[in-house]
Amino acid sequence: MNVVTRFAPSPTGHLHIGGARTAVFCWLLARHYNGKFLLRVEDTDRERSKQEYTDSILASMRWLGLDSDGGPYYQSERMPFYKACVDRLLASGHAYWCSCPPEDVEAMREKARAEGKKPRYDGRCRELGLGPGPGRVVRLKAPLNGEIKYEDMVKGPLSVAAEELDDMVLYRSDNTPTYNMAVVADDVDMGVTHVLRGDDHVNNTFKQILIYQALGEKLPVFAHVPMILGPDRQKLSKRHGAKAVIEYEKDGLLPSAILNYLVRLGWSHGDQELFTVPELIAAFDGHNLNSSPAGFDPEKLLWVNAHHMRETPAAALAEQVIPFMDNANLDLTALAGTDKARLTIAVSLYQPRADNLKDLAAKIRPLLLSSEHLEYDPKLRAKALTDEGRAHLAGLAEILETADFTEQALAEAIKSYLDTTGAAFKAIGPVMRLALLGVSGGPELAAIMQALGKPETLARIRRALALPAA
């Protein structure tokens, strides 16, 4: 099947969850069918379009890994092309010049409303054969009766009576095409076969179908996905914890997790929740798109992210965590280069215990600091650094001097210390954690010590032993 999709954002804001989901669907559909995914920036609204938003949207697309096979194309650079399309419609008699001033059109609409009818332009210039002139617009000569219908890939058959639509403006008096004219001209020119977008565009679709028909062009497949709602089933907004993609990047979420989470907002594959990107490409064939709105759930997003954190190879995660690390007392250049192995070990210990990169960066920090920079949680210090705690630290240090620093040997050394002294694990656990990391929680003691190595482990225990009582 020949599939060409496109994502066509208007650069009036950053890329949000809803737009990103549309982009993901379009990209997956193209990748599944070995087709093409195009990127088009719809920047004809000069007032609201900003370069800063274009840059931010394109950066978010790159970060998400949604590579395109064409574009970004900028509508603002294609004005002569739209004019040529309008001329084609004028020449074939499917469009006409209209000289009605906007106030007159508004008055017609007002009158129709007052009569309880649909507000519409009454077509008074339709047969006048006017030419161009100041203040004039080009209108589509729309069918006066019949039905406009199509089969939506998500919503099924949809139709509207021709009487519901009027002779829409295609070209304004300021020499710019209207939104629907530019979209159809581009979709035809770019060979788009599947137009997948939010269902707030369904009304535009009927108008666009009329333009396709007037141009004598074949309709693409249309797929309109329902909007994303908050957990309270209201329109999604910031108060639901929904953010722009760029903010999720700053929060330390992984692009593969965002992709996984977004695609499940409106598409299902049995009851599978977790996917790698290649699995998504294999499974996403455009079927099973839901026709009812999906609810955004920030907690589930974090859960999906935690899963992707666990599944990412530690070396790859190590590279991604560096920008999130605090560089106080840490040489990040060394961690990225000569100390990469040490960083990777730290990441592998904590990746099952962190649900985002920010969290991971904070958790591995104590492991990577040198002993003199370790900071101690005051509560743990007060609780664990008792006389008994110090005695255990000293005892453990003695046997660790001669221990082999493999995880297994260290686990055995701890066990034999507990067996010989008769101490319970809870008598040594907190004080050892205080000495080794300064905080409670985290991986097994033996794993921490192996990661630190013998000299650093012993240095940390000695420093803890020298700490004054809290």
Task: By CB under 6 A, tell whether 42 contacts ligand GLU.
Answer: yes
Q: Is there a contact between 430 and 442 (Cβ–Cβ < 8 Å)?
A: no
The CA-to-CA distance between both ends of the chain, in Å, stands at 71
Distances in whole angstroms, Cα of residue 466 to Cα of each of 254, 385, 399, 459, 461: 42, 10, 19, 11, 9
Task: Reduce the DSSP state of residue 171 to 3 states and report it.
Answer: strand
Q: Which stretch binds ligand GLU (CB under 6 A): 5-13, 153-161, 330-338, 444-452?
A: 5-13
Q: Which stretch binds ligand GLU (CB under 6 A): 2-10, 157-165, 256-264, 334-342?
A: 2-10
Task: By CB under 6 A, tell whether 183 contacts ligand GLU.
Answer: yes
Find the shortest distance in angstroms from Cβ 226 to ligand GLU: 15
Find the shortest distance in angstroms from Cβ 74 to ligand GLU: 12
- Closest CB to ligand GLU among residues 29, 364: 29
Q: Is there a contact between 461 and 417 (Cβ–Cβ < 8 Å)?
A: no
Find the shortest distance in angstroms from Cβ 23 to ligand GLU: 10
CA-CA distance, 44 to 51, in Å (whole number)? 12
Q: Which stretch binds ligand GLU (CB under 6 A): 7-15, 214-222, 331-339, 414-422?
A: 7-15
Task: By CB under 6 A, tell whether 4 contacts ligand GLU.
Answer: no
Q: Which of 10, 44, 56, 180 binds ligand GLU (CB under 6 A)?
A: 10
Q: Residue 72 is encoded by which pair of tokens?
A: 């970004």
Does the annotation mark 238 as catalytic? yes
Q: How big is the CA angle at 113 (ends 111 and 118), to the nearest 5 degrees?
A: 115
Of these residues, 238, 250, 358, 426, which one is catalytic?
238
Closest CA to 195 of 169, 217, 214: 217
Find the shortest distance in angstroms from Cβ 172 to ligand GLU: 17
Q: What is the DSSP string of 4-49?
A: EEEE---SSS--BHHHHHHHHHHHHHHHHTT-EEEEEE----TTT-
Find the shortest distance in angstroms from Cβ 43 to ligand GLU: 9
Strand intervals (E) in 128-200: 137-140, 147-152, 156-161, 169-171, 194-198
Find the shortest distance in angstroms from Cβ 81 to ligand GLU: 17
- Sign, CA dihedral 102-106-107-111, equals positive
- Closest CB to ligand GLU among residues 266, 438: 266
The two beta strands, 169-171 and 137-140, are antiparallel
Q: Which stretch binds ligand GLU (CB under 6 A): 8-16, 381-389, 437-445, 449-457?
A: 8-16
Task: By CB under 6 A, tell whether 205 contacts ligand GLU.
Answer: no
Task: By CB under 6 A, tell whether 5 contacts ligand GLU.
Answer: no
For ligand GLU, the binding residues (CB under 6 A) are 8-10, 42, 183, 197, 201
Report, as residue numbers or ranges, the catalytic residues. Answer: 238
